[in-house]
Amino acid sequence: LKNKRAQIIMMKTVIEQNNRTITSLKNQDFSSAIESSSEALRLCKMLQSSECQGSNSDFLDQCMLHSEVDEETGERPDQPFIYRSAIPLPPSVTNCGMIVSPILIFNAALASQLSADTLQNHICVKHLRRARCLYELAYSTAHDIDHNVLFQFVVLNNIAIIDQKIGDVAMAQACFEHLTSLLVLLIDQGCSERLRHIVGFLGTSLSCTAQMAAAA
């Protein structure tokens, strides 16, 4: 019973650290975001469970729909679309099973990616590569990834932006091609709420593709 109570308390701390990450990213305090997201991951690893809590196969997408939409994204057509919203955890979560870890890993990746723009060249690339590795880990550990199309989309989109920045044009192009097929899927399914979260992609994808074709 004591162990169970301790796990519940620690899980609440994980949620609090994740909330701090969200707040820090909103305030563009990237060093604090990296610190809190790393602490959330550390605690989650201590609590790691193989349970897959919850019955919704699209749990990741549902959590994302509770995050704020970056309304300014569509107003920056000259800038590559980066999904900038950290993903919140519902207060009802009680363990760090397969549905929680990808969210924490994604938020840690996002903190590293956004912090890179504020750093010197060699340190910037280091943060970008760290972010890319974390995004890949978030994708590979996600439960029912095929049912979480929005999560798939934003992970691959942010990886594509990183690849473009570090000069891996072929990988970026491959990601953008896959993103187009995911976008068609979301449109065919009539997922208007999910599409609101990636509306900026529509305004920048063509210009990004043209730039990469020219570079190739």
Residue pLDDT, tens place only, 113-128? 999 988 878 889 999 9
Contact predicate 153/186, CB 8 Å: yes
Q: In angstroms, rounded to a whole number, what is the distance separating the alpha carbons of residues 148 and 65?
A: 11
Q: Model-level pTM? A: 0.86
DSSP state letter for 146: G
Question: Which pLDDT value is given to residue 55?
Answer: 47
Give the model confidence (pLDDT) of 136-186 as tens digits. Answer: 999 998 878 888 999 999 999 999 999 999 999 899 999 988 998 998 988
**Those residues with Cβ within 8 angstroms of residue 139's Cβ, 6 or more apart along the chain or in another chain:** 102, 145, 152, 155, 156
* pLDDT higher at 213 or 202: 202
Q: Half-sphere exposure (CA, 13 Å, Cβ side) for 88?
A: 12
Spatial contact of 203 and 81, defined as CB atoms under 8 Å apart: yes
- Among 127, 85, 87, 91, smallest CA distance to 104 is for 87
Smallest Cα–Cα separation from 96: which of 37, 44, 56? Answer: 44
Q: Please, what is the Cα angle at 140 between 210 and 107, to 5 degrees? A: 75
What DSSP assignment string belongs to 186-208?
Answer: HHHTT-HHHHHTTHHHHHHHHHH
